[in-house]
Structure 1
């Protein structure tokens, strides 16, 4: 049985179900995701899509063993054109979305406001940036009417060849004394047996096979029983169990895996914090051509730049703009 372990909001909790050769993580986001979503005043379905993407990014990014960045980005043809979530290891996250408000309103009116509907067709890119002296690694998965959960599963099948399942949930809950507050949560499990032969599987859904039937993969091999059991247990997780602050993550893990034994490890915090600064914006402006900088100058001679992540406005008066224009 697990030792009592208190998990607060805005934390990641790693765990291991040794009896199933499964490792995983649970993310719970409260004030951090609420701050990100409310500062932009997104329509509710856009907030849910961005909340899912943030939870997924943290499940993946916090597995990094170095102080780098993990960036998740979607580019699609749906009402939500782009989502960007930037995680700076070990604990900082920022996120934003670009969308067509008229198209989003039309989708809501037509009852097509799920994350799948809003994203449409395109791709999901996940980039690992280990710093200026290291090469970037990027994995790309097609988004073709699938959820972010399914896209993450596909990413691991293609790039890491690790059987993986992801569950994501976002909710706007009422908190006494604080009103409505956005919350997000997620869980990821991965099948990591000691024998590599046990991982050689296509990991495709078995369809409507009758109970007790042997589940075969495309190569004719049986899917490992432990992974089948882990996926079935994962399938019982409900959205509210991932977002409800009154349901501790440890309680959820115990419900799922207590028969096989589950162990939790030290949780790590998540902080909502943008990386922008006046110095960074000045440096960015200097990287533009002279003509581009001159085109940014307002009628009063000033330049104003607003950070897309945190909505902070950086204003450069006429003298500063003139100096930048000459650089």
Structure 2
């Protein structure tokens, strides 16, 4: 039995589309790691996204899964960008305990121009705007939203700024996306998407050990000098050594990666959490939208006697005849 297998204990290897919680007791660090495969393929296959847009959405999906699976209540965690770049909207929506859907809106001509000019990094595609993290606990509970400016940084960096500003928890985030071109069991060429991510947070028993220097406030204010805790310095440095390929390589996996990083400090993994490609749209929910429309809006929606609504997330098509619409609106 290898040291890795012994450390995994009863859980074994989680594999794709499973979030692996972990703890490094020697460094006071907790976190989660994930590799996403078939679920990502299913989401991206519904839309004819240009490759740079698909990569960007895949990165947002990995980030949302890492953060959403930490929720301990029934609700939603939503990551959404709004910017002035060629990709003006990204939405990744996680519903507890295990369902995710995602969508990207983009200007086809602007994305094409960006690709021709080689301007396909996340800052190039997103432009200036905001990244919002929303926690929704349902109709009878308040919504919490943290907003971070998109300042030309990567999604990794923006997420870490969010935790520093809003949660005040020392946090390291790594994200990666890869395309695999190989052959299936029958020898036919195939294209697959993969995404991977890891989040590590410094959570010592003594809260005062989590203190960090303030972010610069402008006008020459460089913040207060506070010495970083040695344990967090070590953990953050170890996370920084991760190669992008390690996060997505199916032969590495989340557990092997964690062992490579932290085995000298005693890393321990917990029961993995499966995540699914599962949209929350339904015929009843669409009917609810129709009830809320003005009569003129409804009339304008008919084409050949039918109103057709397509879910932007999962591409499911819902059709309502005039008689069905009349019945639905009579229930309002």
Query: Which residue in the other structure is 1:211 paired with?
Result: none
Query: Which residue in the other structure is 2:322 paired with?
Result: 318
Q: Is the 8 A contact 1:125 1:140 kept in 2?
A: yes
Q: Is the 8 A contact 2:290 2:325 kept in 1?
A: no
Following the alignment from structure 1 to structure 2, what is the Cα–Cα distance between the partners of residues 79 and 324? 38
Following the alignment from structure 1 to structure 2, what is the Cα–Cα distance between the partners of residues 51 and 144? 20
Shift of 1:202: 2.3
Is 1:134 aligned to residue 138 of structure 2? no
Query: Which residue in the other structure is 2:219 paired with?
Result: none
Gaps of 5+ in 2: 217-221
Is 1:257 aligned to residue 268 of structure 2? no
Is 1:69 aligned to residue 73 of structure 2? no
Gaps of 5+ in 1: 206-216
Is 1:149 aligned to residue 163 of structure 2? no
RMSD of aligned alpha carbons: 1.7
Is 1:182 aligned to residue 193 of structure 2? yes
Following the alignment from structure 1 to structure 2, what is the Cα–Cα distance between the partners of residues 324 and 6? 49
Residues 175, 67 of structure 1: CA spacing in aligned structure 2 closer, same or farther, 3 A cutoff?
farther
Following the alignment from structure 2 to structure 1, what is the Cα–Cα distance between the partners of residues 47 and 134? 24
Following the alignment from structure 1 to structure 2, what is the Cα–Cα distance between the partners of residues 295 and 239? 49
Q: TM-score, normalised by structure 1?
A: 0.92
Query: Which residue in the other structure is 1:239 paired with?
Result: 244
Partner-residue secondary structure (3-state), 2:265:
coil
Q: TM-score, normalised by structure 2?
A: 0.91
Partner-residue secondary structure (3-state), 1:316:
strand
Equivalent residue in structure 1 for 2:210, among 187, 199, 216: 199
Where has structure 1 moved over 6 Å in runs of 4 or more?
A: none
Query: Which residue in the other structure is 2:286 paired with?
Result: 281
Partner-residue secondary structure (3-state), 2:281:
coil
Partner-residue secondary structure (3-state), 1:303:
strand
Following the alignment from structure 1 to structure 2, what is the Cα–Cα distance between the partners of residues 153 and 247? 25
Q: Is the 8 A contact 2:290 2:329 kept in 1?
A: no
**Which piece of structure 1 moves more, 136-145 or 166-175?**
166-175
Following the alignment from structure 2 to structure 1, what is the Cα–Cα distance between the partners of residues 311 and 153? 30
Query: Which residue in the other structure is 2:33 paired with?
Result: 26
Query: Which residue in the other structure is 2:275 paired with?
Result: 270
Shift of 1:224: 1.1
